[in-house]
Amino acid sequence: MAASIPSNLSQNFNRDGYVTGIPVLTQTEVKELVQNFNALEKEIGKENSQYSLHNVHTKLPWVMKMAAHPNILHPLRAILGDNIFVLDSRFICKYPDKENSRKDGAKQYVAWHQDVRYWGVEGMVVTVWLAVDKADIDNGCMQVIPGSHKFGIFEHIEAKEKGNLLTSNQEIPLSLFNVEKAVPCPLNAGEMSLHHGLTVHGSEPNLSDRRRCGYVIRYVATDAYSINDPNRPRTFPATVLVSGKDELHNFTDHAPEWFKK
Ligand SMILES: O=C(O)CCC(=O)C(=O)O
């Protein structure tokens, strides 16, 4: 059965562009998730586990189980309605900076950005950040700028500092928003935050001696659709209907045979 959600969740989400500290997994489920991730990390190596595990929900049942978890979908329905697609997913794993093997020694961080800057989607995108490991200030938990989702898409430029994990090395110049308003989103393993696709967010390097792994899942309602915008050229090859029904067929349902809704 899905856990209960705060009655003001969607109100707070619409006001602030994020909500955080929502419990999703039981201790047993956290243990299983960490075991599965550790086994995968051992198989493919830390470098490949950091940012390259993209859209593996259509390949690995234990990952799909997370993307379609009732305790994620229940609060999401309060924001997106009943009919929901997974748009995309990725593990973002920041290892302790001490283990950093970069030749230039740059500390790895996620620059301030908005998720939809490079994504040609009409309709609200909601990102779930599910903590595989405990995430806190020391190991570089995600930080958000409350209310920043209300100002459309900000200009993004090439990040000035080396070590940005983002694929396009993008960042929003600090002159465009008030970084002093940043709110950290510390999470225990098995908890999640949700943020709006337009919310400005990022994270600092991992200065602890602990791994900081999050499973990041993007969701849209079935009435969202992709647009052909050369400035936002993202494609969506792993969309899966995880809640309700799809009468519009704006996205293909790439659900694998083994996935039972
Ligand atoms: O994991 C992080 O530090 C950043 C996450 C992020 O950029 C996102 O969830 O969109």
The Cα diameter of the chain in Å comes to 51
**Cα separation, 184 vs 144, whole angstroms:** 7
Which residues, at least 6 apart from 42, have a Cβ–Cβ distance to it below 8 Å? none
- Binding site membership of 92 for ligand 1 (Cβ less than 6 Å): yes
Spatial distance between the Cα atoms of 115 and 119, rounded to a whole number of angstroms: 7
Q: Is the CB of 132 under 6 A from ligand 1?
A: no
* pLDDT tens digits, one per residue of 81-103: 999 999 999 999 999 988 876 77
Q: Which of 93, 90, 184, 164 lies closest to 133, judged by CA? A: 93
Residue nearest to atom 1 of ligand 1 (CA): 92
Predicted pLDDT at 76: 97
Task: Answer yes or no: is the C-beta of 129 below 6 A from any ligand 1 atom.
Answer: yes
Do residues 241 and 84 touch, judged by C-beta distance below 8 A?
Answer: yes
Which of residues 1 and 46 earns the better pLDDT score? 46
Three-state secondary structure call for residue 87: strand
pLDDT of residue 73: 97
Give the C-alpha separation, 115 to 113, whole Å: 7
Mean pLDDT of 213-233: 93
pLDDT at 248 over 90: yes
Q: Determine what percent of the chain is predicted with pLDDT higher than 90.
A: 87
Task: State residue 86's pLDDT score.
Answer: 98
> Chain-wide mean pLDDT for the chain?
94
pLDDT at residue 167, rounded to an integer: 86
CA–chain centroid gap for 47, Å, is 19
